[in-house]
Amino acid sequence: MSTENFVKLLSQGLSQLTIDQSHVERLLTFLRLLEKWNKTYNITAIRDFEKMIILHVLDSAAVYRYLTGNSIIDVGTGGGIPGIIFAIINPQLKVTLLDSSQKKMRFLRFVQRQMKLDNIEIVCMRVEKYQAKTPYDVVISRAFTEVGNFLKLAGHLCASDGYIYAMKGPRKESEQNSEQFGFKLHQEIDVKVPFLDAQRRLLVFNKYEKK
């Protein structure tokens, strides 16, 4: 597929999600950096550029519309998915990228410098050890761990009026037992990703206060 077709694919996908298409070039720049580093550092298992557009960018962009607040932490961010996508789409959003992998941190810092992403902060640490100065409006993860464990490990990073978002496939997990981790399932959203047949779910949790 040619560069022109990649631009067209991403533009059409963002249009379906009612997201400003002015971000297309920067999103593709990020993917090109990811593709380049992937050849040496194995940042992500997805190597086909068309699939990267759909499974990385559009998959993340499809969730963006459901975000609330001004600060977000992407737990187990890996190659910066979905955090960097959100940071590009909304330069006003304060995004923290958290991961314990040194090689992935090197990639993220390179991307930050190359693309001058002033609205992201990069933290190399295990989630259970990270203590934020200020809790986040949104704590999010894509396939970091199963839902119950995610709530257990990352719950302390969520503001009292904030939300935890888990980007998942169709498989049901321990979300129904979320109250034992101090959270309750606030919303379950079926997410439609442009050009993707697979089912996606977004689970949204908020703090659970015992009566």
Higher pLDDT pick, 209 / 80: 80
pLDDT band at 33 (very low <50, low <70, confident <90, very high): very high
pLDDT digits (tens, 9 = 90+) for 11-22: 999 999 999 999
Average pLDDT (91-120) is 97
Residue 144 has what pLDDT? 74
* Mean pLDDT value across the chain: 93
Query: Could you tell me the pLDDT band of residue 34, with boundaries at 50, 70 and 90?
Result: very high
What range does the domain containing 111 cover?
Answer: 3-207
What percent of the chain has a predicted confidence (pLDDT) above 70? 96
Per-residue pLDDT band for 71 (boundaries 50, 70, 90) equals: very high
Whichever domain contains 114, its CATH number is: 3.40.50.150
Asked whether residue 172 carries a pLDDT value surpassing 60, the answer given is: yes
Least confident of 9-18, 53-62, 108-117, 161-170: 161-170
Total domains, the chain: 1
Question: Is 210's pLDDT higher than 90?
Answer: no
Q: What's the mean pLDDT in 46-70?
A: 95
Predicted confidence band of residue 175 (pLDDT cuts 50, 70, 90): low
Residue 199 vs residues 32, 80, 143, 196, 202: alpha-carbon distances, Å: 27, 22, 14, 8, 10
Q: Mean per-residue pLDDT for 97-126?
A: 97
